[in-house]
C-alpha cells in the first residue's frame, strides 16, 4: 500500500487517469477498439497500489471526469429531432448515435480491463469498493452512484445465467473451493471441517455457480438437505452426526430443503443469481430424484427481533401494550415477570436467556408466532415484503408456507428471530405465475397457517 | 419445416410475437426481470420450425414491431432538458432513464433466450440468418439493419476476450472438434484426415477460441507452422509428408508462421476475435519457445486476380496497355503470345494454364509481383487497405513484409492471386504502435521490398 | 536400424546381455532389488536398434543363456526332500526357495523394464515379436517357447481385469484413440471417418479396455449395436445412413448386438480380455437400459469356406458327393451347372460370383446352412469347437443361437463363410453355468434351429 | 459383525472355504480360468462379516487347507528328474509344470478377488490383518507366514512402479485426498487444516503414488520443502507462518528437503515404494527447477532415545559410566546434577524437562551428538544400519550427511531422539553406486562430520 504519501510521491491520479482511460472510439470504429492492454494494466496496478484513503477519491475522479459527454448527448438528440420526419433509416441511425453517446467513457476502460487476466474479478472487486464507499459515506457523488448503476447493469450482463456454470460440490471437490464455501457460508456458519464434510455428504447437496472468467471462485452457494418431510429445525440439518448414515436411501428422499443460500461476491450485489441457482438446482434434483415432490426453504428471519423491539418500544411509549398481547397472555406474563411487564419483557428478550425458562417459552410461543407471521406477511417495503428473505423467495414464486417455533436455537437464531424460522415452499407448477403476480401486484401467497396467524394478529394487535 | 402453409396452419406470427416477446420491465425493476423461460423456449421452437421463406418475414416483423419506443425516447429527452439546470444527480437520473428507453424491446427477449441451454448459439445463428437475408435481399428494412447492429454490439460484449477460452488442438483432442476445424478451414481446405493430423502434429500448432456458453464449438481457428525462416510457400506447410519428422527439434524453431485463420461462426461477423487470438497465441508461443524471434503470416491475397482483370480490361478499353507493362516486358510477351497481347493475356490469365509454361512464368513474375505490391499497398477502401487480409493484419499492427512468387500453386491460389502470397510480419515491440497508427491515420507500414516494388509500379503503371 | 553390420560394428550381443540382464537377487533380498534403470534402458535401446534379422538371434540368446538355473532347482529340490520329515515351517521355507529358483533370470530384467516409461508397452511388443518369430520359424528353440509362456503368464497377471479401465468411446473421444480403433477393427473394416462416426453414434456403443501403464492404447475393442431384435445382417449395422436417426429412442432398444470384438495388441495373444470386456459391457448396458432383455453377438465364421472346400475336395476324391447334397439339391444344381457338378461348384464357390445368381442363391441356401450348422456344432479342435469365434463365445457361456443366410454380403463375408453369420446369444442367468460346463465337458449349448440343421446334416452328410 | 455366535449360526467356515476357494485349473487351462465372480464375492462378504476373533482362525484355515499340494510337487519333481536326460523342450515343459504346482491354491482365489471392484483394496487390507495377527500372536502358523510371503510377492508385483501414478497434491486437490494425507502423516502430525495448507503451499511440494485399482487412496506420501540450504530444523518447515510468502522466488530454491515420507497402507509393508517415490520426485523437481543442486532428507531418528537408555542402564550396571562421557563432561554434569550422575541423568532424560535448562542443553550437546552419530553409523541389524530410517536412505544410495542439535523440539522429537534429526543427502551421480554397494557390502557412506563424531565416540565410549 502506498499510504498517505500518495499525493506527493507516486504518479498523480489525474495523470494516471489521463493516460489510462481510453478515449471514446469514433462511432464508426466502435467495434474495432485499439488494444489497450498496457494502459489497462497500468490502471489496475495503480488502483491496487492505492491506500484505503485514496481509493474513494480516485474513483470519484474517474466517475466525474470520464463519464457521459452531456453536450454530445444534447447535440445528438438535436439530430434525432431534426431527422424525425425523414426516412426511418435515418432516424434509427441518429438514435443509434444518441444511444452510443450515452455510454460513459469509463465503460470503454472497463471493457479493456475485462480482457486482462483476472480483469473481471478486478471489476467485481472495484464495485465492491464503490458499494462500501457509498455505504460508509467515504465517497458519495451523483456520478459515483451513476457508475455503480452502470457497473451493476454491466455485471448483470456478464453474469447472465447463460454464462454461468453449475457445479455440484462434494468432498471430492477441490480443497480451495470447499474452504471458500465454508468461509462464505453466512447463514449457518461452518465451525470446522467436519461441519463442511457433513454439508457435502450423504443426504445433502451443495451447488455453486461459477463463471469462466473468474476461475476457482464460487459466486453463490446453495445448500440443500434431502429429507422425507419439510424440516422445522436447522440444528437437525447442520449438526447431525455424519457418521450415522453413510449411504443415501433414495426411498427416504421426497423433499429438498434449501437451508442456506449465500452470495460470495459483494461486488455482485443486486445481480440476480439466487433465483436462477434455485431454478437450476430444482431441475438437477428432479433428474436425480424423479419422485421428489416437495421443495421448500428453511430460512432465517434476520430482522424480526429488531422489528419487534421497535414495535414494543413504540407501544410502550404510546401505552398501547394491549395491542401486542391478548389479555390472557398478558396475565400469564405478569405471573412470572415481576414489575412492569412490557419493560421487563423488552429486557428479557434483549438477551437469549428467556429460552432457558420452559414457562416463558410456552407462554411466548403463541404471541411471537402470531407477530412473526404478521411481520413476514404484513410489513412492507416499497410495496413488497419488508423481510428481505421473504421478498427473495416470493419473487422466485414461493409461498410463505410455515413458521417454526424453536427452529434455530443457536445464539444467532435467537438474537435475530427468537429462534423462529420460515419455510418458503415452491410449488413448481405455480412458481412462475406466483412470481409474475408478486412482481406486478405485490400480492403475497401464503398458507392457511400463516393467513390464520395473520388474521389473529390483525384482530389483536392493530399494527 | 412448416413450409409454405404456415400462414394458414400453425400459430400466427403476430400471435407468437405478442406472446413471446417480453414487455420492457419498468425502469425500477430493470434488474429483476420475471423469468420467461417458457415463452423464450416457444419463440426458439417457433423460429426453428419456420421455413426458409418465412424467417425473413418473421424477423422483419420482430424488428419493426418490438424495437425502440421513439415516443418514450422523445419524452424522456424532454425530461433531460427540463432538469438540465437542476442538480447533477437529477440530471444523471434522467439521462439513465433516457439510456434505458433506447433499449429496443427485443433485446429483453434476447437476454431471456441466452439463458436457455444452447440459447447463445441460437442468437449467433439468428444473426447469421439476418446477415444472409440482408445480403441476398430476402429481407431488408431499416429496423432489421438496426437489429443486426444491436446484435453485433451484444455479441461483441458476450464474446469479449475475457470470456473466451484459448485451447490448443492436438491429435489427442476430441474428434468432433477436429472434424469441425477441418470443415471450417477456409483458407487451405483440409482434404482428408492425414491433412488435419499433419496440421496438429509436430512443427505445427492449432489454436481455437471457445466460449463456455457454446460448448464444443470452435469460434475461430488459427493454424501456425513452426519453422526456421519466414515461409514463402504454402504447399511446403500443408502438404509435407508428416511421416518424415516426428519429434520437434526446439533448436530448429525460430519462427512462427500464421498460415491460416478462419472464423467458424457466420453470426459473429464483425465481432473482433482474430486480433485477440493472434495476440494470445503469440504469448503462448513465447512461453513455449522463449527464443522465438520471428512472427509472420503467410497469407492469401483473395481478390488480386479479380482486381487485375478489372484493371486490364480498363486499360485495354482505354488503350493504355503500356501503363501495365514495361516495353521490354511487353516485347517478351509478344514473343510468345500470338495476336493482340493484352487480350490474349487476359484470356491466358483467366485459367491457370499459364503456370505450365516456364517462359510465361518467368516473364510474368516481375510485372505481377510489382502490380501485387501496389494492389496491397496502394489500393484503398474507406481509407484502409482494399485487400481484407492486409487490412486485418495491418489493424493488428503487422507490416507488409514480403510477397512471394509461386507461393501457392493450388488451383485456388492461382485463381485468386496468380499463386502469389503475402507475409505480414509482426514486430512485437512495434505492433501496438503500428496498430494505433493504422487505425488513426491509415498509414501502412511496409518493408523495403514492398516499397521498392510499389515505387516501380508507380513509375511504370499510373494506377 | 543397425542392419547386417551388427556383428562387426556395434556392441556385441553377448556383451550387452552380460551387462544388462540383472543377476538374480539372493533369496533374502528378493523384494529389495537394486535399481537397474540405466541397464534396463540400455537393453531397450539396444533391442530397438536391432535389425529384423538380428532380433530372433538376440532373443534366442537371452532365453537360452539367462533362463532357469537347472542345477539350483535340482539342489533346492534335494533340500525339500531332506526336510520333508522336519517341521512344516522348514518344509515351507525350502519349498519357497525352490519356487524362487524356478524364476528364470530374465524375469528380473523384465520387471526392471516394466518400471521404465513405456516399459510395459515394450514387453508387450517384445512378446509380439517372439510370437511372430515362432510362427514364421525365424527363431524356434525350447527356451524361446518357454520364454513365450513365461511372458504370457506375466502379461496375464499385469493385464488382469482389476487393473484395466473400461472406457466408452464416442465421437467426443480423442482422435488418436478413434484412429487406432479404426485401424484395429479387423472384423468389419472401417472404410472412412463416416464409418467410425457411425459406429460411435446413436444406437451404437463402442467400449475399450485400457491399462494405466500403456496410456492412449486400446487393448481390446467391442462394438455394440442397440436394436429391437437380434440382427441377422451386418451391413444394416455398419453401413446404415447415420443421418437418419440422431437421437436414440430408449423404447426401441431391447437388444444389444456385439457385432465386432478386436484385440489390438498382438503381444497379448492368449491373455483373456474379451470375456471380461463382454461381461463388463453387459453390466454397463444393464445400468443404462434397465429393460434390455436380449444380448447376442452377430459374428463372422472365419474359416467355414476353407473347411467346406477341403471337405468337397475330399468327397470328390472319394467319389462321395452324395454325402454333401440331397438328391433333389444335386439335381437342382445339375440343372443350372453344366458339366461335373461338384467340380464346377467348387470353382463357382471359389469366387463370389455365385451370389449374383438368384437361382444359385436359392438352391445353395439349404445345404450351406445345414453344413454351416454342422461346422459350428460338430467340428472339433482339442475337444472344443473348431471355429475360434464359436469357441470364444461358448467359453463365455453363450449359446449358438442362429445362423443367418446372406448376413454379410461383403467380399470378405462371402469369401470366409458364403455370407453366413452366426448369432451367439447370452442368456445372462445361464452364462456362468454354460461356461463352466463347456470348459469342463466341452458340451455345446445350441438352439433348436441349430440342432435341427445339425440333425439334417448328420442324416444326409456323414461328416 | 457376526460376533461370537459365528460357530453355531451363520455358514460354517469350512463350508464357505469349500464353496468359494476355486479349484486349481488344470495346467492346460491355466490361462482360461472360469469366472468366479459370485463365489469370490461371497468370500469377501463372509470375511467382512467375521468378528475380530474369528478372522485369525479363518485365515489360518485358508492357509492350511488350500495351500500347495506337496504330493504333487514331489510327483512333478520326479518327472523333472526322469526327463533330465531327454531333450531340452521336454525338460523345460516338466519344469514349468513343477513351477505351476508350486502355486498355492489360495492364489487363484486371490486372483479372482482382485477382479472385483475394490478387490485389490480387500487383498491389501487382508494382508494388513495377517501382519497384525502374526505380530500380536492371535494367529501364527507356518502356513499363515507362508501366505504372508506369497501375498507380499504378489503385492510387490501389483504395486510395481510401472503401474503406479505419481500425483502432486496441492490445495486445489480433492478434499478427501488431502484429509487422508493429513491422517496418514506419521512423521510430523498435521494438527489442523492450516498445517496441511502450508504443506502443499508455496516452497513446499507433496507427492503421492496412487494405483488405478485403488482409486482415491494415496499409497505413500512424500513431503518436500524447497529451500536454499540443507535444513537443520523441522519446526521451521512445518510451522512457519504461511501468510508470509505467497509466491515462490525460483532463485531462492536450490535445495529439496524430504522432510516426511509416510506409507499409508499397512498391507503394503515390505513392498518397496519409498525408494521409487523419491527417485521419481527427484526427476520431477529437476524438470521444474533445472538448477536445483542439493537433495537431502531431514529425518527423525525414531529409537535413539530408547537405545541410549538401554546403553546407559547397561553401563550403570556394569559400573562403566566413564565409557559414555569424557571426564570433563562428567564433571560438568556433576556440577549441576545432585546425587549419582548417571542415575539422575537417566531420570532427567526420561522426560523432556532437560531442554528447559540452557546449561544442560549446552553440556549434553557434545556427548549426545557423538553418541547419536555412533548409533546411526555403528549400530547394526542383520549387517545393515540398526536405525530403520538410516537403513532406508542408505539403501536408496544416500549418505549420512549431518546430524542437527535441537532440530525437533516437539515432545515427539525430544522423546525419540533428544531433538536430534539427521540429514541423509543424495548425491545424484553417486546414489546408484552407493545403493548397490550398501546392499552388497553393507558399507555405509557418511560425511566428515559424522565420521569425526564416530571416531570421537569410539575413542571415548567403547560401544
Distance CA A126, CA A121 (A): 8
CA of B392 vs chain A CAs: smallest distance (Å): 11
Nearest chain D alpha carbon to A173: D174
Q: Which residue has the cell 507380499?
A: D152
Q: Which residue has the cell 403463541?
A: A366
Instruction: Please state whether B418 falls in left (phi above 0), alpha (psi between -120 and 50) or beta.
Output: left
For the record, the C-alpha cell of A313 comes out as 418500544
Distance CA A291, CA A139 (A): 53
Q: Is B193 on the interface with C (CB under 8 A)?
A: yes
Single out the catalytic residue among B260, B299, B416, B417.
Answer: B299
In chain C, residues with a C-beta closer than 8 Å to the C-beta of D99 are 99, 102
Closest by Cα among D171, D207, D191 to A179: D171
Catalytic residues of C: 299, 393
> Touch between chain A and chain B (3+ CB pairs, < 8 Å)?
yes
Distance CA D198, CA D201 (A): 5
Closest by Cα among D55, D42, D54, D35 to D16: D42
| CB atoms C179 and B193 under 8 Å | yes
Q: What is the mean pLDDT of residues A354-376?
A: 94
Q: What is the mean pLDDT of residues B335-360?
A: 86
- Identify which has the larger pLDDT, A245 or D98: D98
CA of C197 vs chain B CAs: smallest distance (Å): 9
Q: How far is CA C66 from CA B58, C109, C145, D174, in A?
A: 83, 10, 14, 47
CA of C192 vs chain B CAs: smallest distance (Å): 9
CA of D121 vs chain C CAs: smallest distance (Å): 10
Backbone torsions φ then ψ of B263, nearest 5 degrees: -75, 150
Task: Write the residue in B171, B175, B197 that is nearest to C172 by C-beta.
Answer: B175
Is D156 among the catalytic positions?
no
Nearest chain B alpha carbon to A153: B31
Task: Write the residue in D95, D160, D432 that is nearest to C111 by C-beta.
Answer: D160
pLDDT band at D233 (very low <50, low <70, confident <90, very high): very high
CA of D137 vs chain C CAs: smallest distance (Å): 16
Chains near C, with 3+ CB pairs < 8 A? B, D
| CB atoms D152 and C35 under 8 Å | no
Query: What is the model's pLDDT at position D6?
Result: 40
Closest by Cα among D99, D158, D161 to D127: D158
Q: Is A141 on the interface with D (CB under 8 A)?
A: no
In chain C, residues with a C-beta closer than 8 Å to the C-beta of D114 are 160-162
What average pLDDT is seen over chain B? 89
Query: What is the model's pLDDT at position C449?
Result: 95
Out of A312-326, B207-221, C267-281, pick the least confident.
A312-326
Q: Is C269 on the interface with D (CB under 8 A)?
A: no
User: Can you name the residues that pair with A204 across neighbouring β-strands?
Assistant: A225
Nearest chain B alpha carbon to C196: B175
pLDDT band at B97 (very low <50, low <70, confident <90, very high): very high
| CB atoms A145 and B92 under 8 Å | yes
| CB atoms A174 and D173 under 8 Å | yes
Q: What is the mean pLDDT of residues C371-386?
A: 94
For the record, the C-alpha cell of D186 comes out as 506419521
The answer for A 149-168 residues in CB contact with B (under 8 A) is 149, 152-153, 156-158, 160-163, 165
CA of C153 vs chain D CAs: smallest distance (Å): 7
The answer to whether the Cα torsion of A245, A247, A250, A254 is positive or negative is: positive
In chain D, residues with a C-beta closer than 8 Å to the C-beta of C70 are 84, 91, 95
CA of C406 vs chain D CAs: smallest distance (Å): 34
Q: Which of D170, D173, D174, D175 to mutate to test the interface with A (most CBs of A within 10 A)?
A: D175
Continuous segment of H or E residues that includes residue C455: helix C448-461
Q: What is the mean pLDDT of residues D55-59?
A: 96
The answer for C 276-305 residues in CB contact with D (under 8 A) is 276, 279
Q: What is the mean pLDDT of residues A172-195?
A: 82
DSSP string, B264-319: --GGGTTS--HHHHHHHHHHHHHHH-TT--EEEE-B--TTHHHHHHHHHHHHHHHT
Structural domains of chain B, ranges and CATH numbers in brackets: 3-68+103-158 (1.20.140.90), 162-297 (3.40.630.150), 304-461 (3.40.630.150)
Q: Which of D23, D34, D78, D277 to mutate to test the interface with C (most CBs of C within 10 A)?
A: D34
pLDDT band at A34 (very low <50, low <70, confident <90, very high): low
For the record, the C-alpha cell of A146 comes out as 451513476
Nearest chain C alpha carbon to D436: C34
Asked whether the predicted pLDDT for residue D242 surpasses 60, the reply is no
Residue D341 near residue D333, CB atoms below 8 Å: yes
C48 Cβ neighbours under 8 A, 6+ residues apart: none
| CB atoms B157 and A157 under 8 Å | yes
Task: Write the residue in C35, C68, C153 that is nearest to D95 by C-beta.
Answer: C68
Q: Which of C172, C175, C194 to mutate to test the interface with B (most CBs of B within 10 A)?
A: C175
| CB atoms A276 and B95 under 8 Å | no
Closest by Cα among C253, C239, C62, C236 to C146: C62
Single out the catalytic residue among A101, A112, A393, A417.
Answer: A393
Q: What is the side-by-side order of every strand in the sheet holding D255-263?
A: D164-168, D204-211, D220-227, D255-263, D294-297, D421-426, D399-404
pLDDT band at C245 (very low <50, low <70, confident <90, very high): low
Q: Is D236 on the interface with C (CB under 8 A)?
A: no
Asked whether the predicted pLDDT for residue A8 surpasses 50, the reply is no
Chains near A, with 3+ CB pairs < 8 A? B, D
- Identify which has the larger pLDDT, C461 or B414: B414
Asked whether the predicted pLDDT for residue D153 surpasses 70, the reply is yes
CA of A190 vs chain D CAs: smallest distance (Å): 14
Backbone torsions φ then ψ of D300, nearest 5 degrees: -75, 165
Asked whether the predicted pLDDT for residue C244 surpasses 70, the reply is no
- Identify which has the larger pLDDT, B184 or B178: B178
Chains near D, with 3+ CB pairs < 8 A? A, C
Query: Taking the CB of residue B69, how many other CB atoms lie within 10 A of it?
Result: 16
pLDDT band at D207 (very low <50, low <70, confident <90, very high): very high
| CB atoms B162 and A116 under 8 Å | yes
Q: Is C52 on the interface with D (CB under 8 A)?
A: no
Single out the catalytic residue among D299, D416, D417, D461.
Answer: D299
Distance CA C130, CA C136 (A): 10
Query: What is the model's pLDDT at position B88?
Result: 92
Query: What percent of chain B is modeled with pLDDT above 70?
Result: 94
Q: For residue range D400-410, what is the model confidence (pLDDT) as tens digits?
A: 999 999 999 99
| CB atoms A193 and D176 under 8 Å | no
Is A40 among the catalytic positions?
no
Single out the catalytic residue among B112, B188, B223, B393.
Answer: B393
Compute the count of residue pairs across chains A and D with CB atoms less than 8 Å apart.
32
pLDDT band at B110 (very low <50, low <70, confident <90, very high): very high
Distance CA C426, CA C278 (A): 10
Nearest chain C alpha carbon to D100: C99
Angle in degrees, 0-180, between the axes of helices D70-83 and D88-101, rounded to the nearest 10: 170
Angle in degrees, 0-180, between the axes of helices A304-318 and A341-350, rounded to the nearest 10: 160
| CB atoms C89 and D142 under 8 Å | yes
Query: What is the model's pLDDT at position A456?
Result: 93
Residue C115 near residue C40, CB atoms below 8 Å: yes
Residue D453 near residue D374, CB atoms below 8 Å: yes
pLDDT band at C241 (very low <50, low <70, confident <90, very high): low
Query: What is the model's pLDDT at position A346?
Result: 84
Amino acid at each position: 500500500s502506498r499510504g498517505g504519501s500518495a499525493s506527493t510521491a507516486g504518479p498523480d491520479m489525474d495523470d494516471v487517469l489521463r493516460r489510462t482511460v481510453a478515449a471514446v472510439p469514433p462511432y464508426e470504429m466502435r467495434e474495432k477498439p485499439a488494444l489497450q492492454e498496457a494502459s489497462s494494466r497500468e490502471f489496475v496496478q495503480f488502483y491496487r497500489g492505492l491506500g484505503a484513503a485514496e481509493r474513494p477519491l480516485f474513483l470519484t475522479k474517474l466517475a466525474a471526469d470520464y463519464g457521459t459527454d452531456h453536450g454530445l448527448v444534447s447535440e445528438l438528440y438535436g439530430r434525432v429531432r431534426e431527422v424525425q420526419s425523414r426516412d426511418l433509416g435515418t432516424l434509427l441511425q441518429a438514435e443509434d448515435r444518441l444511444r452510443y453517446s450515452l455510454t460513459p467513457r469509463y465503460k470503454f476502460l472497463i471493457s479493456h480491463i475485462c480482457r486482462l487476466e483476472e480483469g473481471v474479478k478486478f471489476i467485481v472487486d472495484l464495485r465492491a469498493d464503490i458499494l462500501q464507499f457509498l455505504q460508509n459515506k467515504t465517497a458519495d457523488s451523483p456520478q459515483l452512484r451513476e457508475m455503480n448503476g452502470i457497473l451493476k447493469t454491466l455485471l448483470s450482463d456478464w453474469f447472465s445465467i447463460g454464462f454461468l456454470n453449475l457445479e455440484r460440490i462434494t468432498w471430492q471437490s477441490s480443497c480451495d473451493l470447499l474452504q471458500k464455501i465454508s468461509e462464505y457460508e453466512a447463514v449457518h456458519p461452518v465451525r470446522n471441517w467436519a461441519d463442511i464434510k457433513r454439508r457435502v455428504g450423504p443426504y445433502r447437496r451443495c451447488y455453486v455457480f461459477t463463471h469462466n472468467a473468474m476461475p476457482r471462485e464460487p459466486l453463490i452457494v446453495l445448500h440443500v438437505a434431502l429429507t422425507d418431510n419439510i424440516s422445522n429445525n436447522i440444528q437437525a440439518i447442520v449438526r447431525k452426526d455424519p457418521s450415522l448414515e453413510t449411504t443415501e436411501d433414495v426411498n427416504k428422499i421426497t423433499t429438498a430443503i434449501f437451508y442456506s443460500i449465500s452470495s460470495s461476491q459483494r461486488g455482485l450485489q443486486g445481480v440476480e443469481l439466487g433465483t436462477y441457482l434455485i431454478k437450476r438446482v430444482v431441475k438437477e434434483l428432479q433428474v436425480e430424484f424423479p419422485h421428489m415432490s416437495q421443495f421448500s426453504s428453511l430460512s432465517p428471519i434476520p430482522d424480526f427481533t429488531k422489528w419487534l423491539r421497535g414495535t414494543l418500544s413504540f407501544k410502550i411509549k404510546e401505552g398501547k401494550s394491549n395491542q401486542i398481547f391478548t389479555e390472557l397472555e398478558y396475565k400469564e406474563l405478569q405471573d412470572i415477570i415481576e414489575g412492569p411487564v412490557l419493560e421487563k419483557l423488552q429486557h428479557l428478550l434483549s438477551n437469549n436467556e428467556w429460552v432457558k425458562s420452559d414457562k416463558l417459552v410456552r407462554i411466548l410461543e403463541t404471541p411471537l408466532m402470531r407477530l412473526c407471521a404478521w411481520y413476514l406477511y404484513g410489513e412492507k417495503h416499497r410495496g413488497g415484503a419488508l423481510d428481505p428473505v421473504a421478498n427473495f423467495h416470493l419473487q422466485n414464486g414461493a409461498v410463505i408456507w410455515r413458521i417454526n417455533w424453536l427452529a434455530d436455537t443457536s445464539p444467532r437464531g435467537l438474537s435475530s428471530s427468537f429462534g423462529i424460522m420460515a419455510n418458503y415452499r415452491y410449488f413448481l407448477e405455480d412458481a412462475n405465475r406466483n412470481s409474475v403476480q408478486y412482481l406486478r401486484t405485490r400480492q403475497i401467497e401464503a398458507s392457511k397457517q400463516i393467513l390464520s396467524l395473520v388474521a389473529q394478529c390483525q384482530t389483536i394487535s392493530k399494527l
